[in-house]
Amino acid sequence: MAESQRVVIIGGHGKIALLAAPKLVAAGFTVDSLIRDPDQSADVTEAGATPRVLDIESAETSEMAEAFAGAHAVVFAAGAGGGNPARTKAVDQEAAVRSMDAAVQAGVSRYVMVSYARSQTDIDSVDPTSSFYPYALAKHQADNHLRASSLDYTILGPGALTLEAGSGKIKVLEPAKAGEVMSEEGASVDTSRENVAQVITEALATGSAVRETVNFLDGETPISEALASVSS
């Protein structure tokens, strides 16, 4: 397969990445998954990807650019996992920003960021003393850096992630109103991780949702149709 069809996933051992890798392979891509622990290699290989050991928390921009060289796209699916504000900033913001700069440096224009549905609005509504605030701020800053870049980005904002089987159907939310919709009484805010993986695959396979933010929950609209409407 042509080198131009290689996708590099950052955070390759995460749940979304392990679900996305076989879908991307089935769609005709080859996948390199960046991991920080060599012991994770077997799981990555089983998912159909090639494991590449690179700790993005400490890796310089030039090291990331070397890993991205010749790829069709970069997918950022990493996260510090919360609990440590300093590490949250180091991974979810600073490493994310370096990866964007590295993609530009490597000449890889396509970039997919896995964010969350309220990343544009939470910093105005979440108490700065809340333990969640450092994550909200880090994702908000990273997403804004991506929007200001020259990259052909797609920012994906799922709701509350679940391990339910993907339905292949979603409901797209207006980014500025995502928090409002999700806080409505009785509203379902769930998003299957497998649906997120399918959205990543669809966006890269079809070239849809370029320079768009796609906030979404599990819903009733087929993913292909939903992304086509965002791109129209």
pLDDT tens, residue by residue, 94-138:
999 999 999 999 999 999 999 999 999 999 999 999 999 999 999
pLDDT on residue 177: 74
Tens-digit pLDDT profile for residues 45-92: 999 999 999 999 999 999 999 999 999 999 999 998 877 999 999 999
Q: For residue 2, name the pLDDT band (cuts at 50, 70, 90).
A: very low
Q: Is the pTM of this model over 0.85?
A: yes
What are the pLDDT digits (tens) for 175-220?
Answer: 777 777 776 766 689 999 999 999 999 999 999 999 999 999 999 9
3-state secondary structure the chain: CCHHHEEEEECCCCHHHHHHHHHHHHCCCEEEEEECCHHHHHHHHHCCCEEEECCCCCCCHHHHHHHHCCCCEEEECCCCCCCCHHHHHHHHHHHHHHHHHHHHHHCCCEEEEECCCCCCCHHHHCCCCCCCHHHHHHHHHHHHHHHCCCCEEEEEEECEEECCCCCCEEEEECHHHHHHHHCCCCCCCEEEHHHHHHHHHHHHHHCCCCCEEEEEEECCEEHHHHHHHHHC
**Per-residue confidence (pLDDT) for residue 175, from 0 to 100:** 73
Q: Which of 154, 134, 132 is nearest to 143 (CA)?
A: 154
Q: What is the pLDDT of residue 78?
A: 97
Query: Average model confidence (pLDDT) for the chain?
Result: 94
Q: What is the pLDDT of residue 13?
A: 97
Q: What are the two backbone dihedrals, phi and then psi, of residue 53, each rounded to the nearest 5 degrees?
A: -80, 115
Pairing status of strand 221-222 against strand 169-173:
antiparallel
